[in-house]
Amino acid sequence: MTPHDWSQWPRTAEEARAIQAQLAGSLGERPLDGPVRNVAGVDLHYDPARGLAFAAAVLLSARTLELVESAIAVRPIDFPYVSGLLSFREVPAAVEALGMLTRPPDLVVVDGQGLAHPTGLGFASHLGIITGLPTIGCAKSRLVGTHAEPALERGARAPLIHKRRIVGSVLRSKTGVRPLFISAGHGITLDEAVDWVLRTDGGRRLPEPTRQADLLSRCHSLKG
């Protein structure tokens, strides 16, 4: 991945909203344009006392879900917490962590939203635009939209609808557990996103890439 120039990264909510509106207008679903041999997971945890973000990127074999490599990036928190603008707080550290991997991922699963966001530019979508990588938003809770409750069986899904448009899928990734909220981030369709979440769940509620990234980033944030 080409290193990103963060000198022009917005520092205020006003600047971020202007960029968000510009980028959101260019988003849309499109099919994956190549085979997926490996899948990365990205998640972040914070140490507010020190003002640091800990971003983890783990790379797994798409076939076996075995860990190939992992990386941790630690960066100062340069953007304030503002509702709806979380990606401007998280993307820099996530990009740095992905850039530390020795091989580029074919697909990235993000603990967060993609198109299922008030502006359509969730963390997964923003990360995909910056890196050029296909991304999936896999969230544990709903940010926007309405939906019916999916059936209790694994693989059951219901459309997530926002402003009369399907922006995601409410997916039962494991029988009898709370569903996940899946949305296309960048460079992928919603059906492909749902398929890859199910392919990588390893029998658990959460897909293995983000589950491992969560554990790694949490561990490093606690020990510093």
Q: Assess whether pLDDT exceeds 80 at residue 102.
A: yes
Q: Assess whether pLDDT exceeds 60 at residue 198.
A: yes
Domains in the chain: how many in total? 1
Pairing outcome for strands 107-110 and 135-139 = parallel
- Give the mean model confidence (pLDDT) for residues 133-152: 97
pLDDT-based confidence at 197, cuts 50/70/90? very high
Confidence (pLDDT) at 224? 56
Which one is predicted more confidently, 127 or 8?
Answer: 127
Q: Assess whether pLDDT exceeds 70 at residue 3.
A: no
Is 210 inside any structural domain?
yes
pLDDT-based confidence at 177, cuts 50/70/90? very high
Question: Using CA of residue 78, residue 89, residue 98, residue 121, what is the dihedral sign?
Answer: negative
Is 203 inside any structural domain?
yes
Question: Using CA of residue 203, residue 205, residue 127, residue 26, what is the dihedral sign?
Answer: positive
Q: Comparing 21-25, 125-129, 190-194, which segment has the lowest mean pLDDT?
A: 21-25
pLDDT-based confidence at 221, cuts 50/70/90? confident
pLDDT-based confidence at 44, cuts 50/70/90? very high
Q: What is the mean pLDDT of the chain?
A: 94
pLDDT-based confidence at 25, cuts 50/70/90? confident
Matching residue, tokens 């926002």: 162
Binding residues: 43, 111
Binding residues for Mg(2+): 43, 111
pLDDT-based confidence at 171, cuts 50/70/90? very high
Confidence (pLDDT) at 26? 77
Q: Assess whether pLDDT exceeds 80 at residue 110.
A: yes
Among 123, 125, 138, 134, which Cα is nearest to 181's? 138
Q: Assess whether pLDDT exceeds 80 at residue 92.
A: yes
Is 60 inside any structural domain?
yes
Confidence (pLDDT) at 1? 61
Domain span at residue 116 reads: 36-223
186: β partners: 135
Q: Assess whether pLDDT exceeds 60 at residue 187.
A: yes
176: domain CATH number is 3.30.2170.10
- Give the mean model confidence (pLDDT) for residues 142-159: 97
Confidence (pLDDT) at 141? 96
Confidence (pLDDT) at 24? 84
Confidence (pLDDT) at 27? 81
Is 65 inside any structural domain?
yes
Q: Output the CA angle 90-94-200, nearest 5 degrees.
A: 110
φ, ψ for residue 190 (rounded to 5)? -65, -40
Is 3 inside any structural domain?
no
Whole-Å CA distances, 203 to 19, 43, 221: 39, 20, 27
Could you tell me the end-to-end alpha-carbon distance of the chain, in angstroms, rounded to an integer? 27
60 close to 66: Cβ distance less than 8 angstroms: yes
